[in-house]
Structure 1
Amino acid sequence: MQHRKKPAQHTNSKGKSAQRMGSIRIISGQWRGRKLPVLSADGLRPTTDRTKETLFNWLMQDIHGLRCIDAFAGSGSLGFEALSRGAKSVTFIEKNAAAVKQLKSNISLLKVNNEQAQVHLGEAADFFLQSPSQAYDLIFVDPPFGKGLVGPTLTKIVEKGWLTPTGLVYVEMEQPAPLAIVEPWQPLKTKETAGFCYQLLQLSPD
């Protein structure tokens, strides 16, 4: 779902540099079937429709009214899907300025207000170092593969109190997964493919 390289560029017929564009599709909810423009660049991997459908089937109706974070947002595929399905708000975190600009453009395109969607330019690791004013219900953690970011991100989420006691974290990582999910995390759902695996996690009860 995320990119971690500078967006690829090409030269148009007038000799000016321009970014290549692709699109993502919202599967269900108020914007069902809507396509949104996104950067198409090396390292940008929007979550596939099949994976996204599996995740939101896991969540069922639990998405309605939730406060969410789309960490390592990239295209914002998961965050926009959550908003479409009734999430109360989504905070997008993305370090690439061009991707952030596109996220803001799509928020405007969907006529989403500032209370429903916020975009933070910066590293997710730095964002989670601070303490939140209020804990979140659902956090999407889909970092670039091969960077070892899942473990440290989960640790910061717990240490700084980013998740409500009954909150959920979605994790997507490369396969074979380099990280065994251990306490205080409890895997609720897990699915593996040839290239990656993904899980829905919850904090273990005390």
Structure 2
Amino acid sequence: MAVRTALDLDDVIMARLDAYLALLAKWQARINLVAPKSLPEAWTRHVLDSAQLWPLLEGRDGPLLDLGSGAGFPGLVLAILGRPDVTLVEADRRKAAFLQEAARVTGTQVSIQACRIEALTPIRAGIITARALASLESLLHYAQPYADESTLYVFLKGARAEEELTTARKRWKMRVDKAPSLTDARGVVLRLEGVTNA
């Protein structure tokens, strides 16, 4: 399998990811977790898309806060791959229930907070991630109560990433590294550091 090769996964991790995707397909029939047309390509579209963040987190300590986790991408995938101290934040209680069940089925230790981002009990995150949640400016606004200047932000963005960066830079100072997405020719992974108000 191309995804297994790309991620260099062992049998245990593969089995956990297989169980996760099987559960996703089962729950998708009841609640809309992902775009239905993406299910046949879930390994690439969701797992690899999330897992491509793994090497960008190397050497970074501290809790990982995944905003608007939805079906668990990227936060739950990163936890399954071995990232410790992951908190998934999801306001939709049905999706949060799915995340609880996915964590149980895969044997993954994560904290799941079924609340709006603004209502989250304050924590200091070393890393903040998000995928398909909001504009970059909005993401930085949501993240600020849980971040400091040392926090690393890693966001999966689409074709409008440059436009979003231009808008965000009117309000925020930041160091930006961009990497092309492995799963979307128009997508980019933004790695932001030193984020402060402009």
Which bin holds the TM-score, normalised by the shorter protein? Answer: 0.5 to 0.7
Equivalent residue, structure 2, for 1:8: none
Alignment CA distance shift 1:72-1:156 (3 Å) = closer
- Show structure 1 runs of 5+ residues with no match: 1-24
Q: Secondary structure at the match of 1:141?
A: strand
CA distance in 2, matches of 1:204, 1:119: 26
Q: How many residues of Structure 1 are paired with residues of Structure 2 in the alignment?
A: 167
Equivalent residue, structure 1, for 2:13: 32
Say if 1:167 and 1:202, in contact at 8 Å, map to a contact too: yes
Equivalent residue, structure 2, for 1:166: 150
CA distance in 1, matches of 2:33, 2:104: 25
Q: Identity across aligned pairs (percent)? A: 13
Structure with the larger helix share: 2
Alignment CA distance shift 1:51-1:143 (3 Å) = closer
Equivalent residue, structure 1, for 2:72: 76
Structure with the larger strand share: 1
Alignment CA distance shift 1:179-1:166 (3 Å) = same
| Aligned-CA RMSD value | 3.2
Q: Does 2:124 align with 1:135? A: yes
CA distance in 2, matches of 1:196, 1:205: 25
Equivalent residue, structure 2, for 1:5: none
Give the aligned residue type for 1:32.
I
Q: Secondary structure at the match of 1:136?
A: coil
The alpha carbon displacement at 1:68 in A equals: 0.9
Instruction: Please give the TM-score of this superposition, normalised by the length of structure 1.
Output: 0.65
Give the aligned residue type for 2:46.
T
Equivalent residue, structure 2, for 1:98: 94
The correspondence of residues 10-159 of structure 1 with structure 2, limited to 5 A, is 28=9, 31-33=12-14, 34=16, 35=18, 36=20, 37-38=23-24, 39-40=27-28, 44=34, 48-59=46-57, 61-62=58-59, 66-112=62-108, 116-124=109-117, 126-127=118-119, 132=122, 134-144=123-133, 148-158=134-144
- If asked which structure has higher relative contact order (CA below 8 Å, sep 6+), I would say 2
Instruction: Please give the TM-score of this superposition, normalised by the length of structure 2.
Output: 0.67
